[in-house]
Structure 1
Amino acid sequence: MSDQSLRGGAGAAGTGDSAVPEGEAGRIAAFRERHGLPGLVDVHTHFMPERVLRKVWAYFDSAGPLTGSPWPITYREEEERRLALLREFGVRAFTSMLYPHKAGMAEWLNGWAADFAARTPDCLHTATFFPEPGVEAYVRRAVADGARVFKAHVQVGAYDPADPLLDPVWGLLAEAGVPVVTHCGSGPAPGKHTGPEPMARVLARHPRLPLVVAHLGMPEYTEFLDLAEQYPRVLLDTTMAFTDFSERSAPFPAHELPRLADLGDRVLLGSDFPNIPYPYAHQVEAIERLGLGSAWVRAVCHDNAAELFRLP
C-alpha cells in the first residue's frame, strides 16, 4: 500500500479531518524489532499553544504554491491524541519545538513550554528565542528553569542568526551545553538569512555550540556536512530528509552517503510530527532504506539522542 493511500490524500487534511494511517504502530514496531531498538528519541516534534498550532496548520494548508506540492497534515489531532500516538509509536522522548515569528512572543512561548514539559514527563523541556532586547535574560531563566533543548527558526523568524543581540545567547548555550535545533537551511523556500554562511559566522565565534542542524540543512546538505566535520559539536537531524516527499524537490546527494555514515554518531532522528504530509513510519523507513546498517540506524533513532540528553 502506498503512503498516499495510507494518508488518505490532501483533501482529508485540508478540510481539518485526521488522516492517521491504520496499522502504523505495528509498522513502526516491526522497524524497531528489525534493528533492536528499545524505542525512538525524536528531537524534532512540534507541540505549542493550540491557537499558534492552528495558524501553523493554516500555513501548511496554503503551502502548495511555496513548496510546489500539497502539504496535508497527517496528524491533525487534538493534543492528547497526538501524545498518545507518539507513545504508541514507541517514542520514549520527544520535544515541543516552538518558535516566534516576531518580537514579544518567545518569553510567552517559553512559559507555555515549561508548563507542557511539567505535565508531560516524556517531553524534553524545550524553549526558544528571538533577537530582541532582553533575550539573554529570558534565555538564561529558561536554562535555569531546566530547558534541555532550544529551537531557533531562522526562516520563519526572518532574522540573521549572527545578529549581535543573539551573540550572548549563543555563548550562554555553548557554555551550558544546551543543544539548539536550528532551521537554518533554505528548504522548503529560501529566506533572507538561510543557508550555511550565517550559521558559519555564529560557529566561528562559538565553536563549542551544540548546534543541531534541522532537516540536515536541506537543500544545502553538502555545506552543512562540511560544518559538522569542522565543528565536533554540530549535529544534524533527519527531519523530512530521505522521504519521498523531500526527495522529489531536494534529493539527498548519493555521493554524500559515506560522509553521512561517518558522522553517524552525530545524526539524530527528527520527524516534524505532527506537521508531516506522510505517515511517521515513512520517515524511519526512509532512514532504513539508506542501507547504512542496523548499528547506524540504532544510533540515529535512539542512542545518539539518548546520550546527548542523558536519558536513563
Structure 2
Amino acid sequence: MIPESDADVPAWWSSLGLPGLVDVHVHFLPPGIQRAVYEVFDAAGPKIGQPWPITYRGTHEERVDQLRALGVRRFGALPYAHKPGVATYLNDWARDFAARTPDAFWSATLYPEPEAATYVTDLVAAGAEVFKVHVQVGEFALDDPLIDEAWGTLADAGTPVVIHAGSGPVGNAFTGPGSLARVLQQHPRLTAVVAHMGAPEYADFLALAERYERTHLDTTMVWTDFFEALDHGHGGFPADLLPRVVDLGPKVLLGSDFPTIPYPYAHQLEALTRLRDLEPRLDDDWLREVCWHTPVRLLGDPLE
C-alpha cells in the first residue's frame, strides 16, 4: 500500500510486518530557538526559490503525541549549535527532554570551541545516544582542529553522528563533501549518518558511504515532491544512482525532518514506497531495513 495521509501510516508499516518506525532525523529544540528556526523557514522562500510552509507547529507535547500516533517508536531531538557557547545549553536541554520523553533518543551537539573535547567525552561517558552537527547553519568545517579530539571520542564509542554537510537547500563555503571526507580519512570508524542523502552532492556522499564501513545516509526529505522540485542547482536525486543505493545494503535509514517539513509525514513514506517503480529492488525488504532494522542496529531496539 501507499500511505496517502498520516492516518494511513500505521497500516503502512504494519503491512510490512514492522512493529513501528524508528526515525533518526526529528527535531525538538528549546522554545526560543524553535521559534527562531520557524522564522528562518517562514522567510526562506526568496533564498530557496519557493515557500517552505511548516506542517507541524504544535507544542512539544503535541508533537510527541503526533509521532506516537504515527507509530514512531524512537526519535531524536537533534539540537545543533550555530555559534560558540550554545552547545552546552542545547545539550542540557536535550538531556532533560530525553529524560522526560522515554521514546526520544538522548541527543547532543558539538561546535568548534576549546571545550568541545571535554563535553563530548563527558556526554558519551554519560550515555548520550546520538549527536547532530549542521555545518550549513553553524558555518564551520568538520575538520576544524578544535573538534578533532571529539571525533576520535565519538569514533571509538561508536556513537552515531547525524551530519548535515550537503549544500541543500542553500550552500555556503563550508558545505559539500570535502571536510567530511577529510574527517573520515582521520577517523574511518566514525559512525556518520549523512543527512538528506547529502543533497545535492548525492554521488559524492554516496561514494563516502561505499568507502567507509560506518558511514550511512538518511532519507530526510529525499525523493519527496517538494525536494525533487527544489532547485539546488543540480536537480533531484539522479535515477542512475539508485542501483548504488541498492548496493549499499543496510546503510540507509529513515529520516523525516519532522516537524520542519512542508508536507504531511506520510509523504516521506509515500516517496520511499514509489521508488520501486524506478528500481524494483527498492522493495518491501529494503523498506523494512530503512524504517526499522538499520536504525535499530545503530541505536538499539525500542521494544527491548
Q: Pick from 166, 169, 191 the counterpart of residue 185 of structure 1.
A: 166
Aligned position for 1:224: 205
Aligned position for 1:286: 271
Instruction: Say yes or no: does 1:199 pair with 2:180.
Output: yes
Distance in 2 between residues matched to 1:31 and 1:248, nearest whole Å: 25
Distance in 1 between residues matched to 2:17 and 2:243, nearest whole Å: 23
Q: Quick check: 2:208–2:215 contact (8 Å CA) kept in 1?
A: yes
- SS in structure 2 at match of 1:308: helix
Q: Pick from 245, 253, 261 the counterpart of residue 268 of structure 1.
A: 253
| CA deviation map 1:198-240 (0-9, x unaligned) | 1100100000000000000000010111001110100000000
Distance in 2 between residues matched to 1:230 and 1:38, nearest whole Å: 32
- SS in structure 2 at match of 1:150: strand
Q: For residue 243 of structure 1, report the CA deviation from its aligned partner.
A: 0.2
RMSD: 1.2
| CA deviation map 1:82-112 (0-9, x unaligned) | 0000000000000001111100000111000
Gaps of 5+ in 1: 4-22
Distance in 2 between residues matched to 1:172 and 1:255, nearest whole Å: 37
Aligned position for 1:243: 224
- Superposed, which structure 2 residues align to 1:45-194 within 5 Å? 45-194=26-175
Q: For residue 26 of structure 1, report the CA deviation from its aligned partner.
A: 2.4
Q: Quick check: 1:287–1:297 contact (8 Å CA) kept in 2?
A: yes
Instruction: Provide TM-score, normalisation by structure 1.
Output: 0.91
Q: Pick from 289, 295, 300 the counterpart of residue 299 of structure 1.
A: 289
- SS in structure 2 at match of 1:132: coil
Q: For residue 279 of structure 1, report the CA deviation from its aligned partner.
A: 0.4
- SS in structure 2 at match of 1:265: coil
Q: Quick check: 1:45–1:272 contact (8 Å CA) kept in 2?
A: yes
- SS in structure 2 at match of 1:123: coil
Q: For residue 24 of structure 1, report the CA deviation from its aligned partner.
A: 3.7
Q: Quick check: 1:155–1:190 contact (8 Å CA) kept in 2?
A: yes
Q: Which amino acid aligns with 1:72?
A: P
Q: Which amino acid aligns with 1:71?
A: W
Gaps of 5+ in 2: 277-281
Aligned position for 1:29: 10
Q: Which amino acid aligns with 1:35?
A: L
Distance in 2 between residues matched to 1:61 and 1:307, nearest whole Å: 36
Distance in 1 between residues matched to 2:221 and 2:205, nearest whole Å: 16
Q: For residue 37 of structure 1, report the CA deviation from its aligned partner.
A: 1.8
Q: Which amino acid aligns with 1:237?
A: D
What percentage of aligned pairs have identical amino acids?
55
Q: Quick check: 2:229–2:236 contact (8 Å CA) kept in 1?
A: yes
- SS in structure 1 at match of 2:250: helix
Moved over 3 A (4+): none
Q: For residue 264 of structure 1, report the CA deviation from its aligned partner.
A: 3.1
Q: Quick check: 1:264–1:300 contact (8 Å CA) kept in 2?
A: no
| CA deviation map 1:238-268 (0-9, x unaligned) | 0000000010124111001111011130101
- SS in structure 1 at match of 2:80: coil
Aligned position for 2:279: none
Distance in 1 between residues matched to 2:219 and 2:211, nearest whole Å: 19
Q: For residue 33 of structure 1, report the CA deviation from its aligned partner.
A: 2.7
Distance in 2 between residues matched to 1:24 and 1:245, nearest whole Å: 16
